[in-house]
């Protein structure tokens, strides 16, 4: 009976959050450990549960490690400039193979196994993501988002589907472009006027002092993260995530979160509990 009462209290605690977010869009960007075999099932269950209680989840995923791994197996040396993958045509072929042909389908399959109705997409489907080549660095076939045709995603949401989007776009001539998944998640969340954008990643959140390994900052404002970026306190792979946070909030997303995918059911803990986890970024 005591265990049953604990479960009842959990459900009661979740009720106001279900009421608040029902009918709203939540974009989850999955990367790192969140896509591992064990934890991906926990994440999938969280996303399917969100759909069943009336939240409209949209999934964006990365896959950088898997791309580099396959490139090495094929004898292609990965190259980066300031953390950005240099993408020639040979590399682009691998990017599409891994992101669209493997990871996207695995996430879709996992969501469907957990009782969801997931549909895999990439930027060229229905001209979902119109992009242009980045000109600030010599990165080759790397794009930045020009336009998100969100009506395609909204039709799927209306019919109860969970869109799962690979970060590949195309320019107006149909040339495929590799797009940073964090930035793409921010662009999609902004276009959908999402209630939340949640980055599920390898780290627990934004640390006040990354070298110390202390617990993450619970809540931080746009101005504060801007100051941290300017001072070089945010480095490496966290930079595009934080830039994605800025872009999303400036684009109309209500709140952005960075949470760890190493913790089981981290999405549910963030959305449906009073304490939450990770770092919440607000305007």
Domain layout of the chain by residue ranges: 2-282
pLDDT at 73: 95
Question: HSE-up of 184 (CA within 13 Å, CB side)?
Answer: 31
Q: How sure is the predictor about 8, in pLDDT bands with cuts at 50, 70 and 90?
A: confident
CA nearest 198: which of 118, 100, 271? 271
pLDDT, one tens digit per residue, over 96-142 is 999 999 999 999 999 999 999 999 999 889 889 999 999 888 999 99
- Give, in order, the Cα–Cα distances in Å from 116 to each of 25, 46, 51, 272: 16, 10, 8, 19
Partners of 219 in beta bridges: 280
pLDDT over 70 percentage in the chain? 94
Tell me the helix, strand and coil percentages in the chain, rounded to 5. 45, 25, 35
- In three-state secondary structure terms, 70 is helix
User: In this predicted structure, which of 52-56, 70-74, 225-229 has the lowest mean pLDDT?
Assistant: 225-229
pLDDT at 64: 87
* Cα(144)–Cα(28) distance, integer angstroms: 20
Q: How sure is the predictor about 36, in pLDDT bands with cuts at 50, 70 and 90?
A: low
Mean pLDDT of 212-234: 79
Mean pLDDT of 212-235: 79
* Cα(241)–Cα(227) distance, integer angstroms: 15
pLDDT at 33: 59
CATH 3.40.1160.10 fits 2-282, yes or no: yes
* Cα(10)–Cα(272) distance, integer angstroms: 9
Containing 266, the helix (H) or strand (E) segment is helix 266-272
As given in the structure block, the two tokens for residue 6 are 């604990």
Mean pLDDT of 247-272: 88
Compute the residue count for the chain.
Answer: 283
pLDDT at 229: 82
Q: How sure is the predictor about 266, in pLDDT bands with cuts at 50, 70 and 90?
A: confident
pTM, full prediction: 0.90
* Cα(79)–Cα(84) distance, integer angstroms: 8
Tell me whether strands 279-282 and 25-30 are parallel, antiparallel or unpaired.
unpaired
* Cα(193)–Cα(248) distance, integer angstroms: 9
User: In this predicted structure, which of 58-62, 76-80, 180-184, 278-282 has the lowest mean pLDDT?
Assistant: 278-282
As given in the structure block, the two tokens for residue 252 are 């109309």
pLDDT at 277: 83
As given in the structure block, the two tokens for residue 50 are 């969100």
Q: Is the pLDDT of residue 35 over 70?
A: no
* Cα(130)–Cα(50) distance, integer angstroms: 29
CB 199 within 8 A of CB 244: yes
* Phi, psi for 225 (deg, rounded to 5): -70, -30
């Amino acid at each position: 009976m005591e265990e049953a009462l604990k479960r009842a209290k959990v459900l009661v605690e979740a009720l106001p959050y279900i009421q608040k977010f029902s009918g709203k869009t939540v974009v989850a960007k999955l990367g790192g450990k969140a896509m591992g075999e064990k934890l991906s099932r926990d994440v999938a269950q969280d996303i399917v549960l969100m759909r069943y209680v009336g939240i409209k989840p949209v999934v964006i995923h990365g896959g950088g490690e898997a791309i580099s791994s396959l490139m090495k197996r094929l004898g292609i040396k990965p190259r980066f400039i300031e953390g950005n993958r240099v993408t020639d045509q040979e590399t682009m072929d691998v990017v599409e193979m891994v992101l669209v042909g493997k990871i996207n389908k695995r996430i879709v399959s996992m969501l469907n196994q957990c009782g969801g109705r997931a549909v895999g997409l990439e930027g060229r489907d229905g001209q979902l993501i119109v992009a242009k080549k980045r000109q600030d660095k010599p990165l080759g076939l790397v794009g930045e988002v020009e336009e998100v045709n969100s009506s395609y995603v909204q039709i799927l949401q209306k019919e109860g589907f969970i869109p799962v989007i690979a970060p590949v776009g195309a320019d107006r001539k149909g040339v495929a472009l590799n797009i940073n998944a964090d930035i793409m998640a921010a662009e999609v969340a902004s276009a959908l006027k999402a209630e939340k954008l949640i980055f599920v990643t390898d780290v627990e959140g934004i640390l006040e002092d990354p070298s110390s390994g202390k617990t993450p900052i619970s809540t931080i404002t746009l101005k504060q993260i801007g100051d941290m970026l300017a001072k070089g306190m945010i480095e490496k792979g966290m930079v595009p995530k934080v830039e994605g946070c800025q872009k999303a909030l400036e684009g109309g997303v209500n709140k952005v979160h960075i949470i760890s995918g190493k913790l089981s059911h981290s999405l549910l803990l963030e959305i449906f509990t009073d304490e939450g986890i990770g770092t919440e970024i607000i305007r």
